[in-house]
Amino acid sequence: MRERQINREDMLELTRRMTVKRNCFTRIAGGYMDEEGYVDGSFNRNFLALEKKLQEKNIALAKTVPFAESNKELVGIHFDKEEMTSECYQAFSALRKCQLKNDALLESIYEMIGEKYQSKTPYAIYVFSGTYDIPVKGTDKESQWESEEVYEFVICVITDLEEEYETGAVRMGFLFPAFADRSTDIEGMNVYGRTKEEREFIKGLFQQGGRS
């Protein structure tokens, strides 16, 4: 695994679709974790079925990752071949394909993260499924109506958790797979963390051994 530069324009293009009016999210799921990393509750819903205020609140959580300062709090990662066989990589690849429509897989992901991350206070893991029809750009760099490619992605965030399951600030998270050069990059992801230690934690999830 090695770091690589993120093109800020790619991230800005993606976040422009992260509004209630131009919503790119299809589903949202989450696990509520106690301080020891055990699942204390979960949910899985169609994103558009949420009330507008909840849509806005959750979009803000997801948007924290791509909207963070590129190449500082948000870093680009390139996977080695072995890391692409890791349990975490395979789990999120499957989750992306099913667009979060697998509760058992989600529970296993919450448990996987909980085994590695114990906090002094309860926290939440939120997962978003999204799609973006990437428009063709002409030679003058103006967008055309035709779709060039559909970028299907997952954003995962770990947030503070307040009373009554109210989410607080996003501690860390990632965009999987990476959106690079206006295209899907299955060999990469973008990792967000307020500190280097938080970013290293996310990287470590995808370095936990490979499958034989």
Q: What is the pLDDT of residues 134-166, one digit of tens each?
A: 988 755 555 555 667 999 999 999 999 988 899
pLDDT for the residue numbered 125: 98
In sequence order, what are the beta bridge partners of 2?
Answer: 78
Res. 173: pLDDT tops 80: yes
Strand-strand pairing, 123-137 and 143-161: antiparallel
CA distance 15 to 18: 5
8-state DSSP, 164: G
Q: Are 134 and 152 in contact, with CB atoms under 8 Å apart?
A: no
Half-sphere exposure of residue 15: CA atoms within 13 angstroms, side-chain side:
17
In sequence order, what are the beta bridge partners of 77?
Answer: 3, 189
Query: Under DSSP, is residue 132 helix (H, G, I), strand (E, B) or coil?
Result: strand
pLDDT for the residue numbered 137: 74
In sequence order, what are the beta bridge partners of 112?
Answer: none
CA distance 29 to 101: 9
Q: Quick count: other Cβ atoms within 10 Å of Cβ 109?
A: 23
Among 55, 13, 33, smallest CA distance to 175 is for 13
Model pTM above 0.85? yes
* pLDDT, averaged across the chain: 92
**Max CA distance (Å), the chain:** 54
| Burial of 41 (C-beta count, 10 Å sphere; 0-12/13-18/19+) | exposed
Q: Are 83 and 1 in contact, with CB atoms under 8 Å apart?
A: yes
Q: What is the pLDDT of residues 3-39, one digit of tens each?
A: 999 999 999 999 999 999 999 999 999 999 999 999 9
Residue 57 region, left (φ>0) first, then alpha (ψ -120 to 50), else beta?
alpha
